[in-house]
Structures are given as structure tokens and as C-alpha cells.
């Protein structure tokens, strides 16, 4: 397995993390838009604008990293990369393990956040509370999908040139 393959796996996982962060910043944008005053006297519209720009940047970067990890790995100088790394797993196996681990992270953090906020039932009666609950449930659903259905995502990613290198890596040893 080449070091570039490992970098591409990390970039795919980072892209998925960025995209999920972008989705979960939506409740903060809504909260900023509905606030009467921001912290330290900052205009809430300014906070909403900042949060929107941040969500767009994270979403675009996340989609780019997820869909085109080979572009990012090509930016790494050749002098940094060793030709091979001694890993007994194939690229697909390593990416599968990474997706499951990321799924556990999303599922646990979504579950803990939802359970932690349930003690204040008045909070859920507000529009922000419902949006926050929806975001936490979506995070939990994404986590469960990555844990139990990561194979479907792997099939979609298999069109990626980096993952098709498994056959050549398996033969190289």
C-alpha cells in the first residue's frame, strides 16, 4: 500500500467530517438570526453571516475532499512520501474501518447530545430546540448508517481511482 493511499483515505474521512460539521452549524445560524442581541454586543446578523460563510466553506471543502481525495494527495510533495507502507490491510479494508470508526463517533456524539438535552423539556418547545434535536438525530442516523451500511458507501466510493488500486497493491505485497 502506498502512503498516498493512506492520505486519500484520511482526506475522504476528513471530507465527511467537514460536511457533517457544515450541516450541524445550521441550528447556530438559525439561533443567530432569531437572537435579539449577540454576545458582547455583536450584531446577531453579523454572527449569522459569519456562521453561514463558515458552513458554506466547510460544506464545499467537505464535498471536495470526499469526492476528489486524489487531488489533495497529489499536492503532497513526493519527497515526503515513501513508496510503500507496510500495512497488512487493503485500502478498502482500511477505509471501511475508518468509516465505521467515524460512524461510532457520530452516533455516540449525536446520542449523548440528544439525551443530554432531553432533561430540559421547555428547551424542545422552542423552534431552536426542535432544530437542534433534528440535527442531533440526523447525526445519530449518519453514525448508524456508517456503522451498519458503510458497505453501500464503499460501493459508491469504489469508482474512485484510489480505491481501485487495491488489486495492484495486493499483488505488490
- Please count the residues of the chain: 173
Confidence band of 147 (pLDDT split at 50, 70, 90): confident
pLDDT digits (tens, 9 = 90+) for 83-131: 666 667 787 888 888 888 888 888 888 887 877 676 665 566 677 777 7
Give start and end residues of each alpha helix (H) in the chain: 3-24, 26-34, 44-67, 69-74, 91-117, 121-124, 127-148, 150-157, 166-172
- Asked whether the predicted pLDDT for residue 141 surpasses 90, the reply is yes
pLDDT digits (tens, 9 = 90+) for 48-77: 888 888 889 989 989 998 888 888 778 777
Rounded distance, CA 69 to CA 159, Å? 12
pLDDT digits (tens, 9 = 90+) for 7-48: 788 888 888 888 888 888 887 788 777 777 666 667 778 878
pTM listed for this prediction: 0.61
Residue spans per domain, the chain: 3-67+93-160
Amino acid at each position: 500500500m502506498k502512503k498516498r493511499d493512506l492520505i486519500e483515505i484520511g482526506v475522504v474521512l476528513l471530507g465527511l467530517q467537514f460536511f457533517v460539521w457544515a450541516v450541524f452549524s445550521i441550528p447556530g445560524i438559525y439561533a443567530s438570526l432569531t437572537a435579539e442581541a449577540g454576545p458582547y454586543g455583536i450584531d446577531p446578523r453579523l454572527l449569522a453571516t459569519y456562521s453561514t460563510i463558515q458552513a458554506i466553506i466547510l460544506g464545499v471543502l467537505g464535498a471536495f475532499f470526499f469526492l476528489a481525495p486524489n487531488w489533495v494527495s497529489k499536492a503532497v510533495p513526493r519527497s515526503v512520501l515513501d513508496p510503500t507502507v507496510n500495512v497488512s490491510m487493503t485500502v478498502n479494508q482500511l477505509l471501511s474501518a475508518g468509516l465505521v470508526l467515524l460512524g461510532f463517533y457520530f452516533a455516540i456524539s449525536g446520542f449523548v447530545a440528544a439525551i443530554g438535552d432531553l432533561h430540559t423539556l421547555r428547551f424542545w418547545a422552542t423552534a431552536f430546540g426542535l432544530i437542534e434535536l433534528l440535527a442531533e438525530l440526523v447525526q445519530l442516523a449518519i453514525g448508524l448508517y456508517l456503522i451498519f451500511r458503510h458497505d453501500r458507501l464503499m460501493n459508491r466510493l469504489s469508482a474512485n481511482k484510489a480505491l481501485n488500486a487495491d488489486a495492484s497493491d495486493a499483488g505488490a505485497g
